[in-house]
Amino acid sequence: MSQAKEINHELNIISRYMGLIISKYLIFALLIITLYPMNIIPGYILLAGIIFPAALRFAVNLETSPDKNTASPKKADVSDRECSFTLSQTAKKYNFSYKKYKAENYNFILISLLLVVWQNVLIQKNVFSYPVNIIPSFMLIIYIISRFLAKIIFHFKIHHDFINLNI
Q: Is the pLDDT of residue 19 over 90?
A: yes
Q: What is the DSSP string of 77-119?
A: HHHHHHHT-TTHHHHHHTT--HHHHHHHHHHHHHHHHHHHHHH
What pLDDT is stored for residue 46 in this prediction?
73
What pLDDT is stored for residue 80 in this prediction?
43
Give residue-wise pLDDT tens across range 91-150: 888 888 888 888 889 889 988 998 888 888 888 877 666 676 788 889 899 999 999 999
Q: Is there a contact between 53 and 104 (Cβ–Cβ < 8 Å)?
A: yes
Give residue-wise pLDDT tens across range 77-98: 444 455 567 778 888 888 888 8
pLDDT category, 63, cuts 50, 70, 90? low
**Side-chain-facing half-sphere of 27: CA atoms under 13 Å:** 34
> 54 vs 11, which has greater pLDDT?
11
Q: Could you give the CA distance from residue 101 to residue 17 in angstroms, rounded to a whole number?
A: 6
Residues 6 or more apart in contact with residue 55 via CB below 8 angstroms: none
What pLDDT is stored for residue 90 in this prediction?
82
The full length of the chain comes to 167
Residue 95: count other Cβ atoms within 10 Å of its Cβ: 10
Q: Could you give the CA distance from residue 48 to residue 108 in angstroms, rounded to a whole number?
A: 10
> 75 vs 44, which has greater pLDDT?
44
Give residue-wise pLDDT tens across range 67-76: 544 444 454 4
What pLDDT is stored for residue 76 in this prediction?
44
